[in-house]
A and B are shown apart, each in its own frame.
Chain A
Amino acid sequence: MSGEFRRAARTALADERLRANMQNATRTIRDRRARAVSELPDWEELRDAGQAIKADVLARLDDYLLQFEAAVETAGGQVHWARDAAEANAIVVEIARTHGIDEVVKVKSLTTDEIRLNEALARAGISALETDFAELILQLDGDWPSHILVPAIHRNRREIRALFEQTIAPGPLSDDPNELAETARAYLREKFLDARMGISGANFGVAETGTICIVESEGNGRMCTTVPELLVSILGIEKLVPRFEDLEVFLQLLPRSATGERMNPYTSLFTGVSDGDGPDELHVVLLDAGRTRVLADTIGRQALHCIRCSACLNVCPVYSRTGGHAYGSVYPGPIGAILTPQLIGVEQAPSLPFASTLCGACYEVCPVKIDIPAVLLHLRARAVETGAPRQERLAMALAGWLFGGAGRFRLIQRLARICQRPFVSHGAITRLPGPLHDWTRGRDLRPVAGESFRAWWRRTRR
């Protein structure tokens, strides 16, 4: 059941540079978040509010979606409903085709990465340019995101310099982040001015007003959503908030949790279309792609509360060492471990719910209080139901039976004491065969004691 995650994690953990990059980057963001959060005396109340709003959205999602659709249309936008990735991609391709477009600029691409929109566009002969700095880096290198918020977190600036020199830079560059950013800016600026169609994701959709909210740090999102004459925004159906004023809560929770900033640098809010300002045509695609299935699970559905801040990634002892690629999904880390198996089916990603020590650090930082460890446990049980290896089932059944009576338990203690003899030297076990080799590959194992506690108790107290 550890299968795929373990294999991918092994590769990542063997990469020293990756581990150093991850460790530095997650530590920096983690510390910054902790500082930003400690400034707010009402942080816990904000978390409660965020959780309550999201729970309400999910409880009445059907109403809110229809309200949102009506509001978008009243404001001059068009709403499309997509059951799955294929439908969503077909909708976007069709919009581009009808307008004779073969080049698009993109921003906030997480959801479009989930549905592999760029590949669908490429198949239709449409080239898509990522304009988020980190997404651009990955696109230029044929790589994919390893973090929700900092997609190129696994890269350092020397690697980025080398990549830019080979791709978009007119001349030699230095490692200076400002110079690297300026190079990307100059490259992107031309593209923005030529672009006729923009594609964006969204952070929030307001049911009451039909407003779409995009939160970003570079301003490229604003370029993408205002310069082209045609804009398509793709939202997972869980991205709604009921009222405009609800944004007050999330625009405090999100930047502090995500980047450790008090306020987000660029917050764009747009509602439908307006004459002479921004795009002439707005299409909003509402994406299900497994979300209604998640909604049906009363324990698992809280994963849909997620506002994609990534705080859980940065504090996770597993993620901060393996990086995001090991999770095999655009949603890595603890949230990915509970979201991906639910979106695509536990049987498709049975190793992910086990990719956690259950340390609980994720739950502690989650701005909308998703009880990630509880959902992990829930999904582990489902993964076992849908197909645990026979060997493991037998081992667990045997352990259950042994724990079922003190006599049996004493017997196994005695048996273990005898069986361990060939492996104990100088009071430690340094090498074991079979599945327990996975323990001794990096740690000694303490041997079973010569006299168990219960034996000592019997001997001395009776």
Chain B
Amino acid sequence: MRIALFVTCIGDTLYPSTGRAVVGILERLGHEVVFPAAQTCCGQMHLNSGYRDQAAKLARRFSAIFAPYDLIVCPSSSCVGMVREFHPQLAPGAEELGGRVFELTELLVHRLGVEELGASFPHRVTYHPTCHSLRVARIGDAPYRLLRAVAGLELVELPDAAECCGFGGTFAVKNAESSIAILEDKCRAIASTRAEVCTAVDPSCLLQIGGGLARQAQGARALHIAEILGPGGPG
């Protein structure tokens, strides 16, 4: 299948290895991955910050760029949620496109019917189900199924897993103290699992969690699920 990758602005800029892993996973499964080079951002930051007009421009831009593709993958449930739930309010005709955009794990498990990727990751791992993966994109148990199939991976339950990490986009700086207080509890919960890695499906939440873990020197590190499941892109 020919699959277009929406790598997201954060993924492109801060986590290129996540995008490379997505490419690696899909190509190993025999799919053709294309990267529409005009892509930038889905507009979520603008919408969530109250700048609806600018968000609408970016939504229309996204629609135009991805319209030619039948299947679109994105390694961020939050951006998928934005495209599916909010683009239709912002860009005329975006509903139909929303149905073709999938979060990576959701695409693998629910659309392509794959759980076993032949990955190996001999580490103790805990999974943080991000808010938008649970409540906006609703990807279900896809990440757990994929993680359970990874050779050598010891999956440990995260206490209060469904609680937010405190990121919230511009909330993280606008209400920095609240954001950090929430993050501290998330990091404590991660530390209590004695996991080496905390994984999730959203680069933005991992930016927050990873930043907190590093600052508090908790021992665990944050890593996108694609980098556990994938071989990493060639090059």
Give bound CA distance, A211 to B224, whole Å.
57
Give bound CA distance, A382 to B48, whole Å.
12
A390 within 8 A of B: no
With a CB–CB cut-off of 8 A, which chain B residues contact A355? 175, 178
Checking A13, A397, A456 against B233 with a beta-carbon cut-off of 8 angstroms, the contacting residue is A456
Q: Determine if B47 and A377 form an interchain contact, defined as CB atoms under 8 angstroms apart.
A: yes
Q: Determine if A357 and B38 form an interchain contact, defined as CB atoms under 8 angstroms apart.
A: no
A452 within 8 A of B: yes
A45 within 8 A of B: no
A243 within 8 A of B: no
Checking A364, A449, A454 against B35 with a beta-carbon cut-off of 8 angstroms, the contacting residue is A454
Give bound CA distance, A214 to B175, whole Å.
37
Q: Determine if B35 and A461 form an interchain contact, defined as CB atoms under 8 angstroms apart.
A: yes
Q: How many of chain B's residues touch chain A, expressed as a range?
A: 35 or more
B51 within 8 A of A: yes
Checking A318, A435, A439, A461 against B182 with a beta-carbon cut-off of 8 angstroms, the contacting residue is A318
Instruction: State the Cβ distance, B177 to closest chain A Cβ, in Å.
Output: 5
A318-B182, A453-B20 are known contacts. Are A459 and B235 too (CB-CB below 8 A)? yes
Q: How many of chain A's residues touch chain B, expressed as a range?
A: 35 or more
Checking B20, B35, B172 against A439 with a beta-carbon cut-off of 8 angstroms, the contacting residue is B172
| CB-contacts of B155-174 with A (<8 A) | 162-164, 166-174
B104 within 8 A of A: no
Q: Determine if A384 and B39 form an interchain contact, defined as CB atoms under 8 angstroms apart.
A: no
Q: Determine if A357 and B179 form an interchain contact, defined as CB atoms under 8 angstroms apart.
A: yes
Q: Determine if B212 and A442 form an interchain contact, defined as CB atoms under 8 angstroms apart.
A: yes
Number of A-B contacts (CB under 8 A): 201
A406-B37, A406-B38 are known contacts. Are A361 and B131 too (CB-CB below 8 A)? yes
B46 within 8 A of A: yes
- Nearest B residue to A458 by beta-carbon distance? B37
Checking B61, B163, B211 against A443 with a beta-carbon cut-off of 8 angstroms, the contacting residue is B211
A357-B164, A396-B49, A448-B13 are known contacts. Are A363 and B174 too (CB-CB below 8 A)? no
Main secondary structure of the interface of A (DSSP, over half): helix
Q: Determine if A400 and B57 form an interchain contact, defined as CB atoms under 8 angstroms apart.
A: yes
A321-B181, A409-B40 are known contacts. Are A453 and B19 too (CB-CB below 8 A)? yes
Give bound CA distance, A461 to B43, whole Å.
27
Checking B37, B52, B163, B211 against A446 with a beta-carbon cut-off of 8 angstroms, the contacting residue is B211
- Nearest A residue to B160 by beta-carbon distance? A27
Q: Determine if B40 and A406 form an interchain contact, defined as CB atoms under 8 angstroms apart.
A: yes
With a CB–CB cut-off of 8 A, which chain B residues contact A447? 14
With a CB–CB cut-off of 8 A, which chain B residues contact A405? 38, 40
Q: Determine if A439 and B168 form an interchain contact, defined as CB atoms under 8 angstroms apart.
A: no
- What 0/1 pattern do residues 403 to 422 of A give for CB contact below 8 A with B? 11110010001001000000
Checking A357, A392, A402, A404 against B166 with a beta-carbon cut-off of 8 angstroms, the contacting residue is A357
B114 within 8 A of A: no
Instruction: State the Cβ distance, A349 to closest chain B Cβ, in Å.
Output: 14
Give bound CA distance, A12 to B178, whole Å.
10
Q: Determine if B210 and A446 form an interchain contact, defined as CB atoms under 8 angstroms apart.
A: yes
With a CB–CB cut-off of 8 A, which chain B residues contact A392? 49
Instruction: State the Cβ distance, A434 to closest chain B Cβ, in Å.
Output: 10
Q: Which chain B residues have a beta carbon within 8 Å of chain A's beta carbons?
A: 7, 9, 11-17, 19-20, 35, 37-41, 43, 45-52, 54, 57-58, 61, 131-132, 134-136, 162-164, 166-185, 207-208, 210-212, 214-215, 233-235
18 A-B residue pairs with Cβ-Cβ distance under 8 Å, sorted by A, are: A6-B177, A9-B178, A13-B181, A318-B182, A321-B178, A322-B181, A355-B178, A357-B131, A358-B48, A377-B48, A396-B51, A404-B58, A405-B40, A406-B37, A443-B214, A453-B7, A454-B37, A460-B235
